[in-house]
């Protein structure tokens, strides 16, 4: 089996509500997503998605993703998509870095692999567990009252894990943490996510002033060294997210005891092939994971849930369904909210079918010469 054609689609994803993160510095109203379709010489079709949450969130942007796919396409075309490690290595040789672009191609290869053997992708990633995957809500930064109200709404929808965004003034953040701890429905769990917005002194003061609150704190600062400084001066569990990009980052974090959990975002680390290696290391070394998408439609969410479905639940905290924040739904099937939890679809491949009438014409097509 060989990859014959790669088609790239640009998909506009408006959010139902404007969203703020990283101390309110970043505001989003719509996402620019890229769907990648691969066609094989024997008639299989695979899909992948890349959506880096605009251009301001990560060192990644939608135009760069599509440009990198143009660069990678001649290397990938002609390869057997079922040989996911071979495709991964070939992409790394052809273009160092640009993991978020490689991810979309890698996902499409796993989709074909699953379809070609009639199995869901999670069965190829170690085998599905019977457990359901917990979903966490994402609560944009706002006043303490508004954030508590949002968490209560999410609780009504079945969410039991919440990720409110913090990272402005320390006094304001203390008020948020205390109000949310006070208003949190019984049995629910919370992660205060700063998305890199704080300096070490701010994070240390915030966490020390709220150290009686049973909560996780996520990615307090911009750099690894700053987060490590916070880790060494505080006691609550810390999750590293944006700065975990490759395997070496997780090795270093484990060596330094820099965190208790990581955000394993499939697109950021380069796709399922690379995420699986990190997943295995974390399972063995007791690092809990949020296995999730960087953003995008139910296609990107389902890719993450496929890996989560094949990962012991004790090694996970929660996934996130970005597609619930969107005003459009460009796909059929996929991992949906079943009341605060989800499951990977029991269909061959990723179990998601993009609706071609929504996608429109491809913005680029690459063929075998
Ligand atoms: Mg995060």
Query: Which domains are delineated in the chain?
Result: 3-118+356-367 (3.30.390.10), 123-353 (3.20.20.120)
In tens, the pLDDT along 131-176 reads 999 999 999 889 999 999 999 999 999 999 999 999 989 999 999 9
In tens, the pLDDT along 298-351 reads 999 999 999 999 999 999 999 999 999 999 999 999 999 999 999 999 999 999
pLDDT tops 90 at residue 261:
yes
pLDDT at 56 (0 to 100): 87
In tens, the pLDDT along 265-302 reads 999 999 999 999 999 999 999 999 999 999 999 999 99
Distance 193 CA to ligand 1 centre (A): 6
Q: Are 319 and 305 in contact (CB under 8 A)?
A: yes
Distance 163 CA to ligand 1 centre (A): 8
SS3 272: helix
Distance 125 CA to ligand 1 centre (A): 24
Distance 63 CA to ligand 1 centre (A): 23
Report residue 21's pLDDT band, with 50, 70 and 90 as the boundaries. low
pLDDT tops 80 at residue 194:
yes
pLDDT at 18 (0 to 100): 85
pLDDT at 22 (0 to 100): 66
Rounded to an integer, what distance in angstroms lies between the CA atom of residue 25 and that of residue 59?
Answer: 16
DSSP string, 64-91: HHHHHHHHHHHHHTTS-TT-HHHHHHHH
pLDDT at 82 (0 to 100): 98
In tens, the pLDDT along 44-75 reads 999 999 999 888 888 999 999 999 999 999 99
The mean per-residue pLDDT over the stretch 197-215 comes to 97
Distance 195 CA to ligand 1 centre (A): 6
Helices assigned H by DSSP within the chain? 62-76, 84-94, 99-117, 121-124, 144-156, 170-183, 200-209, 224-233, 247-256, 266-269, 272-285, 298-309, 356-359
* Phi and psi at residue 302, to the nearest 5°: -70, -30
Burial 250-262 (b: 16+ CB within 10 A, else e): beebbeeebbbbb
Can you give the C-alpha Rg of the chain in angstroms?
Answer: 20
Average pLDDT across the chain, whole number? 96
| Ligand 1 (single-atom ion) residues, CB below 5 Å | 193, 218, 241
pLDDT at 156 (0 to 100): 94
The catalytic residue positions are: 165, 265
Query: In the chain, what percentage of residues exceed pLDDT 90?
Result: 93
Kindly state the greatest CA–CA separation across the chain: 64
Distance 329 CA to ligand 1 centre (A): 23
- Greater confidence, 29 or 177? 177
- With a threshold of 0.85, does the pTM exceed it? yes
Token pair listed for 142: 């706002």
């Amino acid at each position: 089996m060989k990859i014959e054609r790669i088609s790239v689609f640009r998909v506009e994803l408006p959010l139902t509500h404007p969203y703020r993160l990283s101390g309110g510095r970043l505001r989003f109203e719509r996402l620019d997503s890229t769907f990648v379709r691969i066609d094989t010489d024997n008639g299989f079709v695979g899909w992948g998605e890349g959506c880096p949450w605009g251009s301001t969130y990560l060192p990644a942007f939608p135009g760069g993703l599509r440009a990198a796919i143009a660069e990678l396409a001649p290397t990938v075309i002609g390869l057997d998509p079922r040989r996911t490690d071979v495709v991964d290595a070939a992409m790394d040789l052809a273009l160092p870095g640009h993991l978020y672009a490689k991810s979309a191609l890698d996902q499409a290869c796993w989709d074909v692999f699953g379809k070609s053997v009639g199995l869901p992708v999670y069965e190829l990633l170690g085998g599905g567990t019977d457990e359901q995957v917990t979903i966490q809500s994402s609560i944009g930064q706002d006043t303490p009252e508004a954030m508590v109200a949002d968490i209560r709404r999410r609780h009504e929808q079945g969410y039991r894990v919440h990720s409110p965004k913090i990272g402005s003034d320390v006094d304001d953040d203390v008020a948020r943490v205390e109000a949310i701890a006070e208003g949190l429905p019984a049995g629910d769990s919370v992660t205060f996510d700063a998305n890199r917005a704080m300096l070490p002194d701010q994070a240390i003061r915030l966490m020390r002033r709220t150290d009686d609150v049973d909560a996780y704190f996520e990615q307090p600062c911009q750099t690894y060294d700053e987060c490590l400084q916070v880790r060494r001066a505080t006691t609550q569990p810390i999750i590293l997210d944006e700065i975990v990009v490759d395997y070496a980052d997780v090795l270093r974090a484990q060596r330094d005891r820099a965190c208790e959990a990581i955000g394993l975002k499939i697109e950021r680390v380069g796709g399922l092939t690379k995420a699986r290696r990190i997943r295995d290391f974390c399972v063995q070394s007791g690092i809990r994971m949020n296995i999730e998408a960087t953003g995008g439609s139910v296609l990107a969410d389902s890719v993450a849930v496929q890996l989560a479905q094949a990962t012991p639940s004790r090694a996970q905290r929660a996934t996130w369904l970005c597609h619930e924040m969107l005003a459009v739904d460009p796909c059929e099937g996929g991992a949906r909210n079943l009341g605060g939890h989800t499951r990977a679809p029991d269909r061959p491949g990723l179990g998601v079918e993009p609706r071609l009438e929504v996608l429109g014409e491809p913005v680029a097509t690459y063929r075998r010469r």
